Structure 1
Amino acid sequence: MNPALAVTTAVTFLWLGMVLAISFLETPLKFRASGVTLRVGLGIGRVVFRALNATEVALAVVLVVAGVLGGATGRVVAVGAAAVVVLVVQVGAVRPTLARRTDRVLAGEDPPRSRGHHAYIGLKVTKVLALLVTGALLLAS
């Protein structure tokens, strides 16, 4: 494997691991911790997801650049691009809606549940699958 594709592989699995650890482990567990109210959990989540999304954007850029430089196959490019597109939709379309609801909760309001949260989770699962397939294709090449 050439060095650029090795970087692409490492970045893919690093990104995948971060999403799994934060989104599917840390996030649900924090609301089970003693003394963590909805407002406190949302405040923490806002900081954590802002940092995660910024890191994801950086990893996506490295993934694209290293993949192009390494001459990734068309299948790797297509599935990796799907993960990047999902991230763009999450950050650009769904997260702002969730942030507005979080603002209301943090201001003491009790807004109705949002379907945006389900969309965010669905996109997250899609991104995880895309990253997993991208990594598997890279390992197989």
Structure 2
Amino acid sequence: MVLAISFLEAPLKFQAPGITIPLGLGIGRLVFRALNACELALAAVVTAGLLLSGGGPGGSWGLGGCALLGAVALLLLQLLLARPLVTRRSDAVLAGQDPGEHRSRAHLLYVAFEVAKAAALGVGAIASMVALAALTG
């Protein structure tokens, strides 16, 4: 979901015919609100699963579990730090107070969190599959 929405849908929507910056921002707000809700729900499931497993950073969680918890932490930081800044900027653009012609530092921060989160999810998934393969022979 992160890869499809953040790195495909978000930039491509602005290339569609007739899409203005305000219209694209409005669509983006809806899409990212839904994405973040799904991410939070999945993060809760992953966190609960890891906590119920009885492992720990040095135990059965291994690299996969630690990377997945890192992705959860990045998501929370992104929502607490970067999202409000991006929302403030998009509010200004939608109110006509900012032309929105260039990416803001807040947007670049948000993108940096997306890249880091995608990397953590990739490492977590691969490490978890390798660990599972080792357990099942």
Name the residue aligned to 1:3. Answer: none
Name the residue aligned to 1:28. Answer: 11
- Flag the structure with higher helix content: 1
C-alpha separation in 1, matches of 2:61 and 2:81: 29
Name the residue aligned to 2:74. Answer: 86
Write out the 4+ residue segments of structure 1 that deviate beyond 4 Å after TM superposition: none
- How far the C-alpha of 1:114 sits from its partner, in A, is 2.1
Name the residue aligned to 2:110. Answer: 120
- How far the C-alpha of 1:111 sits from its partner, in A, is 5.7
The verdict on how the C-alpha distance between 1:111 and 1:31 changes in structure 2, with shifts beyond 3 A counting, is closer
Q: Larger Rg: 1 or 2? A: 2
Query: Between Structure 1 and Structure 2, how many residues are aligned?
Result: 124
The normalised TM-score by structure 2 is: 0.84
1:63 aligns with 2:46: yes
C-alpha separation in 1, matches of 2:16 and 2:64: 40
Of 86, 106, 110, the match for 2:94: 106
- For 2:94, give the aligned amino acid: L
Deviates more, 1:94-103 or 1:67-76: 67-76
RMSD: 1.4
C-alpha separation in 2, matches of 1:54 and 1:30: 21
Q: Deviations over 1:72-127 (max 9, x none)?
A: 52322321111011101111111001101111111112267521111111111000
Identity of aligned residues (%): 50
1:132 aligns with 2:122: yes
Higher RCO, 1 vs 2 (CA within 8 Å, ≥6 residues apart):
1
